[in-house]
Amino acid sequence: MAPGRRSNVDRSSINPCLKYFIFLFNFVVLIVALATVGLTSWIIHEKNKKINSFIDVVLDPSLLLLIVGCLATLISYLGTMGSLRENQFMLTVYSHLVTFFIFIQVVGVVFVFLFYYDNSVLISLKIYPEDVFKDAITNYRDDADQQDFIDGWQKEMDCCGFSNDDDGYKAWADNMYYNCSEDNKSAESCAVPWSCCVLKDGDKLNLLCGSGALKKTSTELSDQIYTRGCLKAVREWVGSNLFVFGCIIIGVLVPQMMAICFARNLNDQISIQKSKWRYT
């Protein structure tokens, strides 16, 4: 049947509300995703970002947003054009991709709960979250954005270092500017970053407030810096905010599941409509 005559034939099997809801939903996501890709690309270009390790991606919000934006652009484009043009191939690929990323997210949530409830499971699988962040400590001063991210994390979570114990601050001994070696002649020798410091109401920030911390025990540092590692802080946050964490998971996964259901429903309607054209 010629495309020009398609509008004159029966299209009753395709629900226009469903079709244009999928189109509008994905079109909005596409616009936001394109804007995100454009903005983050410009930011990365301006700061001349260099990627030397996996941690450079994990601790750089602009890179993470760029990756998410590119994926969202691809998926939402398939959903937008697939629904608008009633293209079954695009709708099928769209639903499969969304399903795949839901699976990835669910696996990530499972690992978070394993990390909280039974860390020994991750150890038995030879998965050590602390190892991921070792380069972050070593290269703390090499990337301004990464440094700001680490400082923000430590300040907001009241933690120091990236271990899963109460002596996380000791990890800063691996940094060339903070270690206690004889070769380190800087003023920050045996110190930790300012973002580890305990600040009470009315206190002014002192960039050297963490001086000499690596020479002391966690008991001696209780009023000077936070000693627990940031992974332990995250673990404790998850434990005390399970309801909030669960709501976030539901809020992220449910729209994606609905998108799959709607896309498959529209795909089935297109198949039914095509069969009518074929046998009428």
Which amino acid belongs to residue 254?
V
Q: How many domains does the chain have?
A: 2
Residue 32 has pLDDT above 50, yes or no: yes
Task: In whole angstroms, give the CA distance from residue 132 to residue 230.
Answer: 13
Task: In whole angstroms, give the CA distance from residue 222 to residue 168.
Answer: 13
86, 181: one domain = no
Report if pTM > 0.75.
Answer: yes
Whether residue 172 lies inside any domain: the answer is yes
Whether residue 102 lies inside any domain: the answer is yes
CB 19, CB 86: distance < 8 Å:
yes
256, 123: one domain = yes
- Identify the CA nearest to 136 among candidates 101, 156, 115, 160: 160
Q: What is the residue range of 185's domain?
A: 130-237
29, 57: one domain = yes
Kindly state the average pLDDT of the residues 226-252. Answer: 88
For residue 225, give the 3-state DSSP assignment: strand
Whether residue 92 lies inside any domain: the answer is yes
175, 213: one domain = yes
CB 209, CB 197: distance < 8 Å:
yes
Whether residue 181 lies inside any domain: the answer is yes
> What is the SS3 assignment for 152-196?
HHHHHHCCCCCCCCCCHHHHHHHCCCCCCCCCCCCCCCCCCCHHH
| Ranges 19-33, 84-98, 113-127, 252-266: which has the least confidence | 113-127
158, 110: one domain = no
CB 80, CB 200: distance < 8 Å:
no
Residue 6 has pLDDT above 60, yes or no: no
Whether residue 242 lies inside any domain: the answer is no
CB 178, CB 192: distance < 8 Å:
yes
Whether residue 6 lies inside any domain: the answer is no
Whether residue 56 lies inside any domain: the answer is yes
Task: In whole angstroms, give the CA distance from residue 280 to residue 272.
Answer: 12
Residue 200 has pLDDT above 70, yes or no: yes
Which pLDDT value is given to residue 1?
A: 43
Here the CATH number for the domain that contains residue 179 is 1.10.1450.10
Whether residue 112 lies inside any domain: the answer is yes
Which pLDDT value is given to residue 280?
A: 65
DSSP 228: S
